[in-house]
Structure 1
Amino acid sequence: MSPHTPSDQAVARHGWVQAGAAVLAAVLAMGIVAALGLWAAGAADLPDGAFPRVTAATVVTAVGGTIELSGNAGGLAESSAGLTVVPLSVSLVGALVLAAGFLRPLRHRAVAGAGELAGWAARVAVLWLAVLLCLSFGARQTFAIPLGDSVVADLGDVFGISPEVSFETDLPPTLFFGVLWLAGVLFLALLVSRGAPLPGRLLRFQTSVRPAAYAMVLLLLAYVGLGLVVGLVVAATRGHAAETFAVILLGLPNLVWLCLTIGLGATWHGRVDGPFGLPMPHVLDQVLRGEETADLDLSSLAEYDGRVWWLVAVDAVLLLAAAFVMAARSPARVRAWQHAVHMAVALALTVLMICLAGRISAHYGLSVLGIGDLGGGLGGDIFLRPDIWSALGLALLWGLVTGFLGALLAHGVRRRGEPESRP
C-alpha cells in the first residue's frame, strides 16, 4: 500500500462530505422557501397530510422535474388535468446556495485541472441524484375535487361520482432535467466567479465570457431585488399580505423577469379562463382573462395602466449598468464594439432562458354524462408563452446599444495597473 493512500482516502472522504453539505444545504433552502410560500398560499390546510408531499413536488418542479397530473371521475364522467410551471423563487434560492457550496473548496486558486473539476462535480451530481430520487418518490398525492353548486354536482350526487385529481413524479425526465439543471448551475457558477479556477485550456475564454456572465447574473438579481422591495411595499400598504408573500416566495422571478422582457418590447401570448388566477398584478390578469388568446406587451398593458411604460426606463437603466459592470471587469484591450457583441449575445441567451423557464400552463376540466366542458365549465385553463424569436431579436438590439454605451462609460474608470490578461 502506498504511504500516500490514507491521505488520499481522507481527501476523498472530505470531498464527499463537502459535496453532501452543499447538496443538503441547497435542498433544505429550497424546501424552506417552498414550504413558506405554500403555507402563505393556504396549502397548509390540504387534507390527508398532503402539505409535505406538495412541498416536495414544488422542489422537484423547481429544478426542472416533471409532475404528472391525472383525473379519475368514475365510469360516467371524464376529467383532465395538467400543470406546467417552474417556481423560480425556489429555483433561484437553490441555485445560489448550491453554487456557493460548489465554489467554496475551489476559492483562492487560479487554475484547476479538468479532471479535478470533473471529479468534484461528479460527487455533487451523485448525491444530488440520490436526494432528487427521494424527493420524487415523496411527491405524490390524490385529492378529491368538490363539485360545488351546479348541474354537474347534482348528477354527481345521483350517480355517486367523486372526482379526484392526483399527481406523481415522472421519474425519467425528472432525473434527466434535474441533472441538466445541476450542470447549468455548476457551469454558470464557474463562469461568474472571479475566484473560481478554470482548466488552463479555458483561460483564454474568460476575457469574453466571465464578465458577460457576471453582468447577466447581476442583472437578474437586480430585478429580483427591485421586485422584492416593491412586493414588500405592496404587502405593507395594500393588504392581502399572505397572497403577496406567496408570490414572492414562489414566483417572484417569474414575474419580474417577465417584466424585463416586456420592457424590451417582447410579446407574450396567453389566456386566463375559469376560476384560476395568475400570481401576478391585477393588470396582467385583466389583459389575459377571456376566452380568446391575448397579446401581453407594452401596448396592451398600457391600455389598463399607463405606468407600464416605466418598464422601458427601468430596462434601459439596469441594462446600461450591467454593460458598465461588464466593461469595467474586462481587460482594457477589449474594444467597444466587442463589448457590444458580448453584451448582445449574453442578453439574448438570458432572454432565451427566461422564455423557456417562464412558460405557464394549467388546466382542469370535468364532464359528467357529457354535461360540462373539459376545457371550461367546471374547470379552468391558463397558459402563457412567449414570442421567442422577436424577443431574441430585441435582446440582441438592446445588447448591442447598451454594450457599446457601457464600454464608453467604463473607459475612464478601469484600474490603470491591472494586467491586460486579468478579467
Structure 2
Amino acid sequence: MDSRTLSDLAVPRHGWAQALVTVLGGLIAMGLVAALGLGAAGATGLPDGSFPRVLAATVVTAVGGSVDLSGDASGLAGAEGGLTVMPLSVTLTGALFIGWSFLRPLRHRAVAGAPELAGWAARIAALWLVALVCLAFTARHTFEISLGKGALDDLGDLFGFSPEIGFAADVPVTVLVGLLWLAGVLVLALLVSPGAPLPGRLLRFQTTVRPAAHAMLHLLLASVVIGGVIALAVAATRGRPAETFAVLLLGLPNLAWLALTIGLGATWDGRVEGSFGLPVPHVLDEVLRNEDVSALNLSTLAEHDGRVWWLPVADAVLLLAVAFVMAALSPARVRAWQHAVHLAVALALTVLMICLVGRISARLGLSVLGIGDLDTGLSGQVLLQPRLPTALGPALLWGLVAGFAGALPARRMRRRTG
C-alpha cells in the first residue's frame, strides 16, 4: 500500500497551476460576457481596431477600476470627462467563477488552517496583480471624432484641427481597487458556502454568519434571474433585441438590484442628459431625463407607471423565501428573534453593497474655442447616487420582519420531521 496516509491523500493540491486556472478562467469568463455585451451594443464597429482596448476597459471597470476620458486638438478644442460605473453582469460572472474555483480545491474538508487559506489566496492574488497591470495598460485608446455638420464642422476646416477623444485606465487605482475586489470575492466565497472549510477559531461563526450570507446570495441571484426573465419577455414582445441583450450582458444586475432596493423603500438621486448610456426601461428614462437631479423611488416611478407597486410585493416574497432558507440552514437552537436580527444585519449590509457598486457617474463634454459642452452627439451626463439613510433604514426593518416570519415555518417543519 502507498506509504502516504489517508489524511495526506485528503489534502488538496492548490498550487500555482490551479491559481493560474482560477485567474485566467475568471478573466476569460468576464471577457466573454463583456465582448458579447459590447458586440450587442454595436462596439465591434469602433474604428482603428479599438475593440480589444474597449473590452479591456470594460473588464477594468467591472472590478472597480477607474477610466479617465480626455481629448485635445492643438489647444483649440478639447474634451473632458470621467467614468465611474461597474458593468455588474461582467462583475458577477467573474466573482462567481473565481469564488467557485477558489473553493473547489477545499471541498470535502471540514477545517482548513489559516496559513493554508492565506497561502492559497496569496497565489491567486499574485497572478491577479499581474493581470490587473496588463489590463490597465491595455485599456487606453484615442479616437478621432467628428464635429458634425454645420458651424462646428466649418470651424474645424477653418482652423485645420480634428478633435480627438481618448480613454485611459488609472493604473494605480485599478490595481488597488482590483486587489480589494478580489479579496472581497474570496472572503464572500468562504462566507456564503455552507460546506467551505474554515480555520478552527472561526467555526463558531458558522451558525450566525453563513446561513445569513448564503440567504443573501440567493436573494441577489434570484432578483437577477427574475430581471432576466422580464427583460427577455420585453425583448420578445417589443423588439429591439440587440439593445436588450446588451443590457442583459452588461448591466442586468445594475437594474435588478436597483429595483430590489427601490422596492424596499430606498431613494436614489439620478439624472440622464445627452446620448450617454445603454437603453433603460422607459419609466426610468422618463424620471431621470430632467433639467435637475431627480429623486428615484416608488412614488416618483408610480407617477409614470403604476406597476412599480409590485416591487415591494416581489421583495416581500423573495425575503420570506430566503428567510426560510436561512432558518432551515441554521441550528435548531437559534430562536426566531435571532433569525430576525441576523437577516436584518445581512440585508442592510447587502443593500449597502448594492449602493456602493451600483453608483454611476459619467460625463463627457466637448468644447471648441472655449464653447463648452457642444452638441456633437457625444456629450452627455449620467448620474445615479443612493441616499444611504433611505436605503439602510428600511432594509433593517424588512430584515427584522421577514427574518422572524420566515423562521416560524422552518421551526414547524423541524418539529414535523422530528
Q: Same fold (TM over 0.5)?
A: yes
* Deviation of 1:72 (Å): 1.2
* Deviation of 1:84 (Å): 1.0
Contact 1:139 1:169 in 2 (8 A): yes
Q: Who is 2:102 aligned against?
A: 102
Does residue 209 of structure 1 match 2:213? no
* Deviation of 1:319 (Å): 0.9
Letter in 2 for 1:366: L
* Deviation of 1:121 (Å): 0.6
* Deviation of 1:373 (Å): 3.3
Q: Give secondary structure in 1 for the equivalent of 2:280.
A: coil
Distance 1:247 1:400, change over 3 A: same
* Deviation of 1:126 (Å): 0.8
Work out the CA distance in 1 between the residues paired with 2:154 and 2:310: 50
Contact 1:81 1:165 in 2 (8 A): no
Work out the CA distance in 1 between the residues paired with 2:337 and 2:33: 42
Q: Who is 1:186 aligned against?
A: 186
Distance 1:136 1:414, change over 3 A: farther
What percent identity do the matched residue pairs reach?
70
* Deviation of 1:354 (Å): 0.6
* Deviation of 1:277 (Å): 4.1
Q: Give secondary structure in 1 for the equivalent of 2:208.
A: helix
Q: Who is 1:408 aligned against?
A: 408
Q: Which moved more, 1:161-170 or 1:101-110?
A: 161-170
Contact 1:247 1:279 in 2 (8 A): yes
Distance 1:298 1:164, change over 3 A: same
Gaps of 5+ in 2: none
Contact 1:272 1:278 in 2 (8 A): no
Distance 1:24 1:36, change over 3 A: same
Q: Who is 1:343 aligned against?
A: 343
Q: Give secondary structure in 2 for the equivalent of 1:147.
A: coil
What pairs with 1:136-151 in structure 2 (closer than 5 Å)? 136-151=136-151
Q: Who is 1:119 aligned against?
A: 119
* Deviation of 1:59 (Å): 0.7
Q: Who is 1:177 aligned against?
A: 177
Letter in 1 for 2:116: E
Distance 1:370 1:135, change over 3 A: closer
Distance 1:370 1:76, change over 3 A: same
Work out the CA distance in 1 between the residues paired with 2:378 and 2:204: 59
* Deviation of 1:265 (Å): 1.0
Work out the CA distance in 2 between the residues paired with 1:376 and 1:414: 65
Contact 2:12 2:106 in 1 (8 A): no
Work out the CA distance in 2 between the residues paired with 1:263 and 1:58: 29
- TM-score, normalising length: structure 2: 0.94
Q: Who is 1:293 aligned against?
A: 293
Contact 1:264 1:395 in 2 (8 A): yes
Distance 1:308 1:244, change over 3 A: same
Letter in 1 for 2:330: S
* Deviation of 1:195 (Å): 1.5
Letter in 1 for 2:359: R
Q: Who is 1:421 aligned against?
A: none
Deviations 1:174-194 (A, max 9, x none): 111111111111101111112
Contact 1:277 1:285 in 2 (8 A): no
Deviations 1:16-71 (A, max 9, x none): 11111111111100000000000000000001110111111111110111112112
Work out the CA distance in 1 between the residues paired with 2:321 and 2:168: 44
* Deviation of 1:14 (Å): 5.5
RMSD: 2.1
Letter in 2 for 1:79: A
Q: Which moved more, 1:376-385 or 1:177-186?
A: 376-385
Q: Who is 2:155 aligned against?
A: 155
Distance 1:16 1:416, change over 3 A: farther
Query: How many pairs align?
Result: 411
* Deviation of 1:375 (Å): 9.9
* Deviation of 1:73 (Å): 2.9
* Deviation of 1:416 (Å): 7.9
- TM-score, normalising length: structure 1: 0.93
Distance 1:285 1:416, change over 3 A: same
Letter in 2 for 1:93: T
Q: Who is 2:166 aligned against?
A: 166
Contact 2:72 2:163 in 1 (8 A): yes
Q: Which moved more, 1:29-38 or 1:65-74?
A: 65-74
Does residue 80 of structure 1 match 2:88? no
* Deviation of 1:318 (Å): 0.4
Contact 1:345 1:399 in 2 (8 A): yes
* Deviation of 1:408 (Å): 1.2
Work out the CA distance in 1 between the residues paired with 2:314 and 2:71: 44
Distance 1:110 1:12, change over 3 A: closer
Q: Give secondary structure in 2 for the equivalent of 1:280.
A: coil
* Deviation of 1:415 (Å): 8.0
Q: Who is 1:380 aligned against?
A: 380
Distance 1:313 1:66, change over 3 A: same
Q: Give secondary structure in 2 for the equivalent of 1:208.
A: coil
Deviations 1:266-285 (A, max 9, x none): 11111111222454201101
Contact 1:212 1:326 in 2 (8 A): yes
Q: Who is 1:55 aligned against?
A: 55
* Deviation of 1:414 (Å): 3.2
Q: Who is 2:235 aligned against?
A: 235
Q: Who is 2:70 aligned against?
A: 70
Work out the CA distance in 1 between the residues paired with 2:53 and 2:162: 22
Contact 1:363 1:375 in 2 (8 A): no
Q: Give secondary structure in 1 for the equivalent of 2:147.
A: coil
Q: Give secondary structure in 2 for the equivalent of 1:414.
A: helix
Distance 1:155 1:127, change over 3 A: same
Work out the CA distance in 2 between the residues paired with 1:110 and 1:372: 62
Q: Give secondary structure in 2 for the equivalent of 1:149.
A: coil
* Deviation of 1:150 (Å): 4.3
Q: Who is 2:36 aligned against?
A: 36
Work out the CA distance in 2 between the residues paired with 1:12 and 1:176: 30
Q: Which moved more, 1:360-369 or 1:54-63?
A: 360-369
* Deviation of 1:158 (Å): 1.5
Contact 1:375 1:381 in 2 (8 A): no
Q: Who is 1:283 aligned against?
A: 283
Letter in 2 for 1:328: A
Letter in 1 for 2:182: L
Letter in 2 for 1:316: A
Q: Give secondary structure in 2 for the equivalent of 1:137.
A: helix
Distance 1:371 1:134, change over 3 A: closer
* Deviation of 1:145 (Å): 2.0
